[in-house]
């Protein structure tokens, strides 16, 4: 990449996925959650998970599209990214091929365009070749599309490299990647470890998992090594299984690796879990990560993505607001 890129501008927003607990508990409707983003001041960017937020997705009625645009205008929000699914394993015993994956993603991309989303986040479950097949549609709609690089993957992992190779061949500005900050964690969420303690997981098992997690070996090696050594310590298999989630939930890749693909980054997922006494994310080094994207020339939205609802039953409202305060403080200093 250019050694001296023009400084970028990271704009803040939120994905409604952060409020999954409240939505699933029917404590808030879709429209109420959209209003909450504005009320909390955690916009203006709004990201949706299509299959989660929109009944009947990917079919989008004209009525819903009109209502959605009215919601955006009323609350002064902007569509930032629509998260699509690449459900390539929905048929028992047979994975989708590239053409089938492209056919599955096509109506989701069309739905995003109809709602005014400039970016569609996909998943590496879809073969890289599916992007080549979708490229005529993507370029016609003028919409950016690309998979999320989520833990345990890194920029040089095999699925990512397959996409990078295809991107080099087709050379389209509409194909890219969506980094998830959980790939650059420095440790594991304190809240998750504390919940496991309350569930009776022994401290030696926690220490073992954290120690192995911090290593440079592959995620599969880490998981296998942990299970082998946990069995030697007679750790309850169900508790060992709960700990094994760590090896795919977060990973300790170096943030500087994002510079390799900076020109192809189309959206950001600001993954976070909890905060320390200073208001900093306790497991992900935001003070190191965010400046990289500004200095690297990225211009676009970052969605605040609280994933604590996976193990803590909270609405997520205050957590997202605190995350915006943290990111706003870092960006203001730049």
pLDDT of 102 reads 98
DSSP string, 183-252: GB-SS--HHHHHHHHHTT--HHHHHHHHHHHTSSS-HHHHHHHHHHHHHHTT--HHHHHHHHTHHHH--B
How far is residue 240 CA from its own chain's centroid?
25
pLDDT of 168 reads 98
Summarize the confidence of residues 11-33 as an average pLDDT.
Answer: 94
Name every residue whose Cβ is closer than 8 Å to that of residue 206 and which is 6 or more positions away in sequence.
Answer: 193, 196, 197, 243
Summarize the confidence of residues 11-15 as an average pLDDT.
Answer: 98
- Provide, rounded to the nearest whole percent, the portion of the chain with pLDDT above 90: 78
- 59 pLDDT band, cuts 50/70/90, is very high
83: tokens are 């998260």
Q: Which among 323, 317, 308 is positioned nearest to 36, based on CA atoms?
A: 317
pLDDT of 219 reads 85
How far is residue 104 CA from its own chain's centroid?
20
- 169 pLDDT band, cuts 50/70/90, is very high
Summarize the confidence of residues 201-212 as an average pLDDT.
Answer: 91
Alpha carbon distance 204, 297 (integer Å): 44
Domain ranges within the chain, ordered by starting residue: 9-187+251-333, 190-244
pLDDT of 330 reads 97
- Which pLDDT tens digit goes with each residue over 235-292? 888 888 888 888 888 999 999 999 999 999 999 999 999 999 999 999 999 999 999 9
Residue 137, H or E segment: helix 129-141
Summarize the confidence of residues 86-90 as an average pLDDT.
Answer: 92
**Are 161 and 219 contacting, i.e. CB atoms less than 8 angstroms apart?**
no
- 3 pLDDT band, cuts 50/70/90, is low
DSSP tally for the chain: helices H, then strands E:
14, 8
Summarize the confidence of residues 75-102 as an average pLDDT.
Answer: 95
Bridge partner list, 82: 48, 120
Please give the model's pTM, rounded to 2 decimal places: 0.93
Q: Per the residue annotation, which of 75, 150, 267, 278 is the catalytic one?
A: 150
What is the CATH code of the structural domain delimited by 9-187+251-333? Answer: 3.20.20.150
Residue ranges with strand state E in the chain: 9-15, 45-49, 78-83, 119-122, 144-149, 178-179, 268-272, 299-306
Alpha carbon distance 178, 81 (integer Å): 10
Q: How many CA atoms lie within 13 A of 68 on its CB side?
A: 23
Catalytic residue list contains 150: yes
312: tokens are 């803590």
Residue whose entry in the numeric block shows the structure tokens 């404590």: 27
Alpha carbon distance 246, 152 (integer Å): 10
Does 4 score more than 70 pLDDT? Answer: no
- Which pLDDT tens digit goes with each residue over 173-198? 999 999 999 999 998 888 888 888 88
Q: Which among 325, 319, 321, 329 is positioned nearest to 21, based on CA atoms?
A: 319
Q: Which among 315, 287, 290 is positioned nearest to 302, based on CA atoms?
A: 290
- Which pLDDT tens digit goes with each residue over 287-325? 999 999 999 999 999 999 998 777 777 788 999 999 999
Phi, psi of 78 (to 5 degrees): -130, 130
pLDDT of 272 reads 95
- Which pLDDT tens digit goes with each residue over 106-132? 999 999 999 999 999 999 999 999 999
Does 1 score more than 70 pLDDT? Answer: no
Q: Which pairs from 60-68 meet CB under 8 Å and 24+ separation?
A: 60/111, 60/114, 60/115, 65/114, 65/115, 68/115, 68/116
pLDDT of 133 reads 98
């Amino acid at each position: 990449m250019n050694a001296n890129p023009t400084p970028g501008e990271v704009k803040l927003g939120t994905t409604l996925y952060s409020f999954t607990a409240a939505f699933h508990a029917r404590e808030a409707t879709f429209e109420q959650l959209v209003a909450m983003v504005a009320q909390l001041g955690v916009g203006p960017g709004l990201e949706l998970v299509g299959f989660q937020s929109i009944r009947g997705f990917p079919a989008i009625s004209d009525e819903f599209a009109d209502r959605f645009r009215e919601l955006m205008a009323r609350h002064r929000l902007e569509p930032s990214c629509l998260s699509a699914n690449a459900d390539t394993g929905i048929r028992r015993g047979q994975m989708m091929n590239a053409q089938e994956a492209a056919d599955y993603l096509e109506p989701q991309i069309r739905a995003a365009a109809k709602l005014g989303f400039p970016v569609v986040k996909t998943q590496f479950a879809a073969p890289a070749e599916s992007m080549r097949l979708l490229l005529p549609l993507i370029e016609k709609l003028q919409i950016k599309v690309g998979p999320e690089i989520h833990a345990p993957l890194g920029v040089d992992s095999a699925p990512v490299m397959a996409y990078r190779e295809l991107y080099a061949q087709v050379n389209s500005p509409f194909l890219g990647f969506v980094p998830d900050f959980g790939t650059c964690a420095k440790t594991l969420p304190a809240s998750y470890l504390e919940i496991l303690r309350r569930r009776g997981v022994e401290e030696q098992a926690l220490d073992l998992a954290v120690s192995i997690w911090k290593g440079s070996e592959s995620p599969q090696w880490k998981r296998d090594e942990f299970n082998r050594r946990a069995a030697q310590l007679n750790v309850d298999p169900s508790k060992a299984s709960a700990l094994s989630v760590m090896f795919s939930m977060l990973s300790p890749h170096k943030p500087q690796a994002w510079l390799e693909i900076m020109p192809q980054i189309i959206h950001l997922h600001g993954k976070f879990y909890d905060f320390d006494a200073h208001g900093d994310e306790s497991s992900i080094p935001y003070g190191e990560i965010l400046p990289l994207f500004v200095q690297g020339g990225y211009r676009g939205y970052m969605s605040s993505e609280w994933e604590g609802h996976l193990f803590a039953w909270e609405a997520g409202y205050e957590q997202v607001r605190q995350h915006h305060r943290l990111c706003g403080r870092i960006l203001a200093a730049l």
